[in-house]
Structure 1
Amino acid sequence: MSPLAPSARGGRLALLVVGLCWLAVLFDGLDMFIYGSVLPHLLETQTFGLTPDQAGDLGSYATFGMLVGALTAGTVADRIGRKKLMVSCVILFSLASGVCAIADSVAVFGLGRTLAGVGLGGLLPTAISMVSDYAPRGRAAIVIGLLMTAHHAGGILSAYVAKWLIEPAGWRAAFWVCVLPLLFAPVLARFLPESLSFLVAKGRTAEARALATRYDVELPAAKSEKAGAADRWANLVGLFRGGEWVQTLLYWSASFGGLLLVYGVATWLPTLMRAEGYALGSALTFVVVFNLGGIAGMLLAGRAADRFGAPRISAIWFALTAAGVFMLSVHMPLGVTMTVVFLTGVFLNSAQTMIYATVSIRSHPENRATAVGWTSGMGRFGAVFGPWLGGQLLAANNGDWGFTAFALAGLSSMVFIGIAALRGGRQTPADRAPQELVGTH
């Protein structure tokens, strides 16, 4: 048998890396969404004496952990490598789910969700970096978009785990399922290659060059660590020079509202639909339909942005999301509600992505990565606030206002990203960044 050509080898390696990272992100999504899927049962059975406001706090613990994980992932990965960090994140959120499964109090359960959040927050940006390194030339955007579908597939899986296990085995069984990715960690450690960017940064250029040549992937350029640190600081300061600070704050505000909406709805959708009078089985089916919409939205958003422009699509998507979320506060026939949930998933889960695309397009090339990174980081504070807000509204017997509050967050993001887009000057095609699908979670 003749040896594989370099391009064929590259395709095989890309398939291996994307496949392993896709499974890791699938487990990430399962662990993230499982809390929202079991929450109606926890509240109805008053497990741990759980109240709605405490439930909102618990939802925020995971997203706060994700904030910590996302902010520290880059530094840790630069020290130990992206492969080791991915394996560590899978182990961490799997063991943390075990803590939740054996928890005998709200405090212990909250500790488990916080630790899980750290692992979840560190995994996704690292996985995106890995698949970017090994994507075939010119296919990075498609590969990242494919990777992001795994998170929503995990959300679908979480709903079925809850539907199949809660009645016969109890809510703890659902969290024991989230421990099973521990069995995947050795597979990841054995077969996932190290990041080319990490090898180059650590001076292991011969090893990186051999991999890049053998598998026909592009070798990242080496960067000076001292210059890199100075550049990062200068680029951050550059976001606030002159009139740029207004634009920066508009992007950050839009991202805050967007992730408040994403994580608020992800946490409270089954509970709020249950409060609207739907049976628990139907409420969990909404999670499946919502995430199916998310997968479709991730695949469609880039095409729409390429044709009509990311700023315009971002504003329109948020307006449609707000309309859909608000409509969910009205009890409609089941078929109509399912359609609205699906379309809301399509627009909600990709509206935030369009913020990142807008920032990428409108930013100067030299500080583009910094602008997108900080916009994502500031948005994560909204991810912490969203679950807490839903809990507070339910605790005050204002559950009907839950969807309205999240819809207002969508409208605010529409306004902020719309103003920012109108204020931003046009750039030449040479300055435009490729509109890659960036992780929203």
Structure 2
Amino acid sequence: MPTFGWESIFWFAGLTLLLLPIMYKQLSETASYIIRKGKKEKLIATLAKLSQNRIFKENRALSTVIFWIAFFSCLLMVYGLNTWFPKLMMEAEYGLNSSLGFLIVLQGGAIIGTLIIGRLCDKCGSKKMLVPMYGSGAVALTLLGFGVITLVIYLLVAIAGAATIGAQNIVQAYVSQYYPPTIRSTALGMASGVGRIGGMLGPLLGGFLLSVSLPIHLNFIAFAIPGLIAAAALSMVPLKNAYNNVNDIKEETIKDHVS
């Protein structure tokens, strides 16, 4: 930026447009377009690559919607905090250097939290860890708005990072394990797509909150609420419909018949 100006960042991001010819070549056209062009063989070949979309079938509709809510809420928090966290801390009367330091701690907490909670998820189950993670993140964000000693602030920021950004890393693994292999990419892709809507709204929410000059603790509470929503939603995920559990039940049934 010092050499080429802030515009250079957008020019660099725009280099991805060079991939458009490759995308145009590789991505499939819609079925209706192929039919209009009379390319029935191409349509059959394309449809043969697609597996049946079963994310709403076999008793998974509720789980799918719940995961969408969790992704939406979490990415709203993640992108909102990443964009506005230093400004929020400055509004809480911390200096610019301290506020940027808090952002580093937020990201550091996410990295460490992902590693630690990931191991615990392997032992205790993802749902048992994710629900309290989202809840603790909401509590940490709420307490940040009331101002305590600096050491405690750093601790709360680290917890918030682990319970927002870290939780988003964990919940993606949870979704991929919940669905059968043939539809995992569809389930995770759809949940991530819905989550990106929350990711777009997060920065807008932060900007709106700062523009209306609310008391600082209400700003933090506003970002804590999606964490509570995500925790409540994931607590209702029916474990009996998870792919591993269904397979275990089938195997036990087969063994019973054999014996």
Q: Greater relative contact order (Cα 8 A, min sep 6): structure 1 or 2?
A: 2
1:223-262 correspondence to structure 2 within 5 Å: 226=46, 229-231=49-51, 234-235=52-53, 238-241=54-57, 243-262=59-78
Structure 1 stretches of 4+ moved >6 Å = none
1:413 pairs with one of 225, 230, 236: 230
* Aligned ranges 1:398-409 → 2 under 5 Å: 398=214, 400=216, 401-409=218-226
Q: Residue 399 of structure 1: CA displacement? A: 5.4
**Bigger Cα Rg:** 2
Alignment identity in percent?
A: 30
Quick one: which amino acid aligns to residue 230 of structure 1?
Answer: L
Question: After superposition, where does 1:148-159 map in structure 2 within 5 Å?
Answer: none
Instruction: Report the secondary structure of 1:241's partner residue.
Output: coil
Is the contact between residue 79 and residue 202 of structure 2 (CA under 8 Å) also seen in structure 1?
Answer: yes
Distance 1:242 1:307, change over 3 A: closer
- Report the CA distance between 1:389 and its aligned residue: 0.5
The match for 2:200 is: 384
Q: What residue in structure 1 maps to residue 90 of structure 2?
A: 274
Deviations 1:210-233 (A, max 9, x none): xxxxxxxxxxxxxx97356422xx
Distance in 1 (alpha carbons) for counterparts of 2:75 and 2:147? 25
Q: Secondary structure at the match of 1:343?
A: helix
**Separation in structure 2 between the aligned mates of residue 306 and residue 396 of structure 1, nearest angstrom:** 44
Q: Secondary structure at the match of 1:419?
A: coil
One-letter amino acid of the structure 1 residue matched with residue 241 of structure 2: G
Q: CA deviation at 1:423?
A: 6.5
Where in structure 1 are there 5+ consecutive unaligned residues? 1-30, 32-94, 102-111, 123-200, 202-223, 432-441
* Corresponding position: 1:300 with 2:120: no
Superposition deviation, residue 252 in structure 1: 0.5
RMSD: 3.0
What are the superposed Cα offsets for residues 276-314 of structure 1, whole Å, 9 maximum, x if unpaired?
Answer: 111111111101111111221222232011011011111
Q: Which runs of 5+ in 2 are unaligned?
A: 20-25, 27-43, 251-259
TM-score (norm 2): 0.75
Q: Conserved in 2, the CA contact under 8 Å of 1:250 and 1:417?
A: yes
State the distance in 1 between where 2:91 and 2:238 align. 38
| Contact persistence 2:59–2:241 (CA under 8 A) | no
How many angstroms apart in 2 are the aligned matches of 1:118 and 1:378?
26
Query: For the residues of structure 2 that align with 1:263 and 1:241, how far apart are their CA atoms?
Result: 31
- Within 5 Å, which residues of 2 pair with 1:55-66? none
Specify the code of the residue in structure 2 equivalent to 1:99. Answer: E
Q: Distance in 2 between matches of 1:382 and 1:404?
A: 17
Residue 398 of structure 1 aligns to a residue whose secondary structure is coil
**Does the 8 Å CA contact 2:60/2:241 hold for their aligned counterparts?**
no
Alignment partners' CA distance in 2, 1:332 and 1:282: 14
Aligned 1:44-123 pairs, distance under 5 A: 98-99=6-7, 112=10, 116=13
How far apart, CA to CA, are the structure 2 residues paired with 1:369 and 1:314? 21
| TM-score computed with the length of structure 1 as normaliser | 0.46
In structure 2, relative to structure 1, the CA distance for the partners of 1:241 and 1:429 (3 Å cut) is closer
